[in-house]
Amino acid sequence: MALTQFHLFRQLPLELRREIYLLATPPRIVHVQEGKRDEDDYEGEYEDEYDEFADKLRTNPVHIKLDKSLLHFAFNWRRHVPRRDAQSTLEYFGFASTKQRYQPWETSASAPEIPLHWLSERPDLAWEFMRESHLYSSAPIPALLHTWSESRAVLRSQGYELTFRTRSTGPRTWFNFKRDTLFLRHDSAGSDGNHGVLTGGPWDVGQFDPGDMQRVQRLALDRSTQSLYDVFSSSNTTHYFFNSELSSLLRLFGGIKELLLIEWMQELLDDWFQPGSYAFKYVPLFGPAPDPNRKQAMNTTQKLWYAVDVAEVDAAMRPFNDYPFYRGQMISVGEEGRLLTAFKAKNGNADYFEETQLALENRLAQFREHTLTEEAAHWEIPKVRAVHVLSRSGHLILSRERQRVMQDLRKLQQEWKAVLKSKNQRHAACAQNPTVVACSSSSQWDNDESFETDDERAFAEAHWPERQHHGCSCGQFNDDDMATTQRKWWIQEGPVPAMGDLLFE
């Protein structure tokens, strides 16, 4: 009978109990975001708060106060601020005042003054600089922080603390800077207008306290694998700007040791594989399917998340599905995996992700060297990892899919080799004895090794037939679509892709 309780725990040595507490508290991926987050009407609430702020700014501009912590973001916001010599002042017209002018920091070329009268006329910028906010997370709080006093004391002594304050509120999130990973959502508005004025990119950290940011060692970024796209190209403008956004973020944090670039999130797998979805209905999983009666929580913020390294086999999921339009697209390998297949054709068994991650690290280091000035502090170039961020059940599903795709691919590669072997043997036999009826029936056998045999045609018809539209008028399915091209390449020319980590029940 399995033991379910252990009544002698308190009699264990303290050192052993401490180790048990830590082993029972795995490192987390913690999504920190700005409140208020009313999921039902966040957009409306946000707009109402902004309108109220803009009205107050317009009617009472003398109360504008800027926090000194904004100085940390100056290299991003200073390009939005007019130069001092371009501003008309009272002194210019002969007026003077004995009252000391409000100055939250000592101004310089790298940290210019933000004229308050100018800011009062630009509520969108003032909103980024001055709004009241708080940061919070829905990540599960380590249970042993609330189990009993000893476990709480041990975890706190090992680095668990309430942190991530803003300019207007205190910390609200339990986090361990030595063990946990900070996760940031991609904000599509962050690269447009003034929304990302403090951050310089689509991952908005403008409300974070600089002191907290500089303690973060591990950072995970949503929708960030575009930075691996064409990383070896020297002329990719999009990649240059993506490098600039990443470098700006790394500069703000300063001490990031590991950067996780996220390809797939758990909610994406939920869309693909939850019971009732199109993909779940038409593309059965490899191995035992999950129980449809088992509740699949769609709110993944209530789950523990895990980082699973992206593998080459993941890029083959799309071409090796009967309905590739519905799942498996990966940004990091290019459209329909063209960058991955080009890399494998050139480099054989070299791992695509290992090479591109290293190339990106070198790119970021070069970008830093071109950016560094006397007043800019040196920032770390982290170890880069392309990952999927999944729940444990998501990792199980991914593992099944990896097994299925790898099994299908290996089987088809062996079948294709057998077809070619049969063709070559027949060609060699005909070359030696062209009078055989089977050879003389087709004169092409004598001179053309590329002549397509019946076996080759049958194999092609079986494994890359003309796509059926299934009622879809979206233009995604046709005989020449790129998914078919990728499928043919993997079978006919491609090596066996790297498998990645698997999780088993």
SS3 category, 14: helix
> Mind listing the pLDDT tens digit for each residue in 244-262?
899 999 999 999 999 999 9
Which pLDDT score is estimated for 477? 47
- Please indicate whether residue 333 or residue 451 has the higher confidence score (pLDDT): 333
pLDDT value of position 423:
85
82 contacts: CB under 8 Å, gap ≥ 6: 115, 118
What pLDDT does residue 186 have?
A: 92
Is the four-CA dihedral 374, 379, 384, 387 of positive or negative sign? negative
User: What confidence category does residue 133 fall into, taking pLDDT thresholds of 50, 70 and 90?
Assistant: very high
- Please indicate whether residue 189 or residue 449 has the higher confidence score (pLDDT): 189
Report the alpha-carbon distance of residue 63 to residue 90 in Å, rounded: 20
Q: What is the pLDDT of residues 312-358, one digit of tens each?
A: 999 998 888 766 555 668 999 988 888 999 999 999 889 999 999 99
pLDDT of amino acid 14: 92
State the Cα–Cα distance between residues 325 and 280, nearest whole angstrom. 13
- For 449, which DSSP code? T
- Answer with the residue of higher pLDDT: 231 or 206: 206
Confidence at 36, pLDDT banded by 50, 70, 90: low
Nearest to 355 by CA among 259, 231, 238, 258: 231
Q: Name the DSSP class of 91.
A: G
Higher pLDDT, 374 or 464: 464
Residues 323/278, Cβ–Cβ less than 8 Å: yes
Taking only the tens place, the pLDDT of each residue in 272-325 is 776 655 555 544 444 444 444 444 433 434 478 999 999 999 999 888 876 655
Instruction: Flag whether pLDDT at 443 surpasses 70.
Output: no
Per-chain mean pLDDT for the chain: 82
More confident: 241 or 177: 177
Q: What is the pLDDT of residue 296?
A: 43
Provide the 10 A C-beta neighbour count for residue 431: 13
- Joined tokens for residue 341: 């297949």
Contact 186, 245 (CB under 8 A): no
pTM: 0.86
Cβ atoms of 374 and 335 within 8 Å: the answer is no
Q: In the beta sheet, which residues pair with residue 53?
A: none
Over 60: is that where the pLDDT of 39 sits? Answer: no
Maximum Cα–Cα distance across the chain? 112
SS3 134: strand
* Domain locations in the chain as residue ranges: 173-401, 403-492
Place of tokens 């494994």: 463
